[in-house]
Amino acid sequence: MEFSAQQIALLLGGKLVGNANAKVSDVAPIEHAEAKHLSFITDEKYLPQLQTTHAGVVLITESLFSDQSAIGNDQSAVILVPNARGAMAQLLQLVAKTMNPARQGVEQPSFISEGVTVPEDAYIGAFAYIGKNVRLGKGVQIYPNTYIGDNCIIGDNTILYSGVKVYYNCSVGANCILHSGVVIGGDGFGFEPDAQGVNQKIPQIGNVIIEDDVEIGANSTVDRAMMGSTVVRKNVKIDNLVQVAHNVEVGESTFLCAQVGIAGSTKVGKHCILTGQVGVAGHIEIVDNCIFGAQAGVAGSVRKPGMYQGSPAIDAATWRRATIGFKQLPEMVRDLHELKKSHNS
What is the DSSP code (8-state) at residue 64? G
Q: Give me the DSSP letters along 294-344.
A: TT-EE-S-B-S-EEEETTTTEEHHHHHHHHHHHHTHHHHHHHHHHHHHHHH
Annotated active-site residue in 37, 54, 246, 343: 246
The SS3 of residue 254 is: coil
- Cα dihedral sign, 129-131-133-137: negative
Please confirm, yes or no, whether 54 is among the known catalytic residues: no
Residues 6 or more apart whose Cβ sits within 8 Å of residue 101: none
What is the DSSP code (8-state) at residue 242? -
- HSE, side-chain direction, 13 A CA sphere, residue 123: 16
* Rounded CA separation 195/175 (Å): 48
Answer whether 203's CB lies under 8 Å from 241's CB. no
Query: What values do phi and psi take at 50, rounded to 5?
Result: -65, -25
Q: Which residues are catalytic?
A: 246
